[in-house]
């Protein structure tokens, strides 16, 4: 089969492409920004497929940074191409408020969320939710646009700070989210990879001391973990609620049952591979092949595939090397911010 991966040549895409090739397929990564619609003389032309033959299957490893590709993906579906993670599901998972709506309708526990557009509405929403609370962009990633507000006196400053990340003034009216702060399990969650309705593997993420965000991009550390039945069930229900073929679900273990903090259509699964030892790429390939008409999707008919010792050692080394590089970046960023504050002060 010809299988096109829409995304960026990151670790996820490269591993998936190379594995598909090793299984006898023709596979390539098409940059997400290169997939778009050209509305020309009443025709919907999907670029780059005006010059390339249509593939047998398209796999979308895209998220919030590729909204321009969503319409093109839908046109491919209309043309009969199996698209794994279709546009409607991507749009829900890319917009954190729509994600919250879908999870609520599915009965999935999620922090209380209010969407606002103005400073006045922000202040009213904050009174409703109570402090501490979280301000976040509706389409951010890696924890870069998520800010903790511990008390009312910090609210406007953190709101302005979030606006500046996007190059905006505080008076801009683009939506932001006010979210309940779940302090019970702060700095710790479990990330679960789900494909074809099955929770395949997971890992635990633990924030560094003094940091409340559990994103690896913010310096958190991954650990092996055992998922509970409740955690796997809520992760699978979350992916189903958004209509995703596969996704990464961030689950926070709290009293009264696990809460889902985030669902990502393009979430990183390489670290989960390293921490669990489960060959997620192999499982994903089997699912892709079933969508292309080669074989049936029945992952529970046999044991999930494991990496051999050499492959596992390589993946663990890759994961920790990447974490070390991120730690260096964060340390340098902290030094720059401290110097900037001294100069301002």
Give the pLDDT confidence of 9-35 residue by residue, as tens digits.
Answer: 899 999 999 999 999 999 999 998 899
Cα 156 vs. chain centroid, distance in angstroms?
A: 28
Provide the H-helix boundaries in the chain: 11-22, 70-78, 87-94, 96-105, 119-129, 155-165, 229-242, 270-276, 280-291, 309-344
Highest mean pLDDT among 59-68, 124-133, 179-188, 216-225: 124-133
Q: What's the pLDDT tens digit per position in 247-269?
A: 999 999 888 889 999 999 877 89
Contact 186, 212 (CB under 8 A): yes
Domain 185-327 CATH superfamily? ATP-grasp fold, B domain (3.30.470.20)
Level-2 CATH architecture, domain 112-181: 2-Layer Sandwich (3.30)
Burial category of 128 from C-beta neighbours within 10 Å (exposed 0-12, middle 13-18, buried 19 and up): exposed
Residue listed under structure tokens 């958190």: 220
Q: d(Cα 345, Cα 334) in Å, to the nearest integer?
A: 16
pLDDT band at 330 (very low <50, low <70, confident <90, very high): confident
pLDDT band at 58 (very low <50, low <70, confident <90, very high): very high
Q: Average of pLDDT values for 173-182?
A: 89
Contact 131, 150 (CB under 8 A): yes
3-state secondary structure of 263: strand
- Tokens found for residue 7: 């995304």
Residue listed under structure tokens 């994600």: 99
More confident residue, 166 or 242: 242
Cα 301 vs. chain centroid, distance in angstroms?
A: 28
> Is residue 294 predicted with pLDDT exceeding 90?
yes
Does the predicted TM-score (pTM) go above 0.95?
A: no
Domain boundaries, the chain: 2-93, 112-181, 185-327
In this structure, which topology does domain 2-93 adopt according to CATH? Rossmann fold (3.40.50)
pLDDT band at 66 (very low <50, low <70, confident <90, very high): low
């Amino acid at each position: 089969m010809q299988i096109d991966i829409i995304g960026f040549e990151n670790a996820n895409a490269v591993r998936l492409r190379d594995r598909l090739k090793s299984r006898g397929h023709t596979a390539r990564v098409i940059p997400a920004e290169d997939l778009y619609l050209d509305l020309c003389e009443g025709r919907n032309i999907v670029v780059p497929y005006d010059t390339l033959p249509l593939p047998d299957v398209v796999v979308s490893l895209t998220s919030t940074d590729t909204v321009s590709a969503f319409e093109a993906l839908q046109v491919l579906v209309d043309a009969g191409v199996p698209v794994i993670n279709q546009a409607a599901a991507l749009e829900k998972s890319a917009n954190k408020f729509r994600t919250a709506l879908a999870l609520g309708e599915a009965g999935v526990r999620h922090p209380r969320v209010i969407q606002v557009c103005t400073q006045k509405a922000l202040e009213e929403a904050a009174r409703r939710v109570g402090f501490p609370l979280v301000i976040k962009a509706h389409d951010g990633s890696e924890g870069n646009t998520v800010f903790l507000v511990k008390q009312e006196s910090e609210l406007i400053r953190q709101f302005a700070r979030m606006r500046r990340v996007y190059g905006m003034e505080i008076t801009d009216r683009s939506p932001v989210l006010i979210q309940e702060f779940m302090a019970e399990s702060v700095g710790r969650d479990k990330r679960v990879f789900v494909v074809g309705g099955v929770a395949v593997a997971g890992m635990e993420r633990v924030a560094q001391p003094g940091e409340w965000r559990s994103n690896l991009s913010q310096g958190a550390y991954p650990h092996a973990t055992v998922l509970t039945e409740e955690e796997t069930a809520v992760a699978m229900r979350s992916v189903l609620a958004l209509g995703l073929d596969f996704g990464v679900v961030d689950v926070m273990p709290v009293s009264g049952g696990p809460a889902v903090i985030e669902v990502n259509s393009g979430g990183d699964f390489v670290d989960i591979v390293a921490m669990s030892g489960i060959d997620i790429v192999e499982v994903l390939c089997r699912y892709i092949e079933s969508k292309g008409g080669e074989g049936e999707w029945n992952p529970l008919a046999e044991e999930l595939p494991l990496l051999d010792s050499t492959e596992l050692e390589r993946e663990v080394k890759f994961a920790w090397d990447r974490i070390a590089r991120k730690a260096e970046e964060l340390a340098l960023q902290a030094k720059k911010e401290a110097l900037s504050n001294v100069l301002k002060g």
